[in-house]
Amino acid sequence: MTHYPVPAKNRGNARKMRKAMTDAELKLWNEIRAHRLMGLAFKRQMPIAGYIVDFACPNKKLIIELDGSQHARAAASTSDATRTAKLGALGWTILRFWNDDVIRNIDNVCQHIVIAAGLGNAEAPAPAREEAFP
């Protein structure tokens, strides 16, 4: 696994974010933590290349981002695209889900994650908002 230098400020922010998870983050974390989702190992609020991603599966180079309504605004959308491009250039695949999708349809979200990790059947994909493949 590639290691990226993590500034102390980012490490501290990630620690704080782990303690203050949103409802959607907590719901997804309860589904994917401790290898519960097809044996995949996820980390939460993981610093990568200057960013703190919501969830990452380093073995599959898969990042999951959960977005609230503020991400629909133009400025946030541009920032998200830049972030996705930078992480994608490092070989990561980024899946973005709306918080509401996680709250209302966690099974479909999990199915999409499994498919993106190459462990599931691609016949019934979940509604991911954005994917960036290297």
**Structure tokens given for 112:** 């999409």
pTM: 0.76
- Say how far apart CA 125 and CA 84 lie, in whole Å: 21
Per-residue pLDDT tens for 44-98? 999 999 899 999 999 999 999 998 855 445 555 788 889 999 999 999 999 999 9
The strand order across the sheet containing 43-48 reads 43-48, 51-57, 62-67, 93-98, 130-132
Give pLDDT, residue 120.
78
Annotated domain spans of the chain: 8-132
**Is 33's pLDDT higher than 60?**
yes
CATH superfamily to which 8-132 belongs:
VSR Endonuclease (3.40.960.10)
Closest C-alpha among 60, 61, 56, 49 to residue 28 = 56
Closest C-alpha among 79, 60, 63 to residue 71 = 79
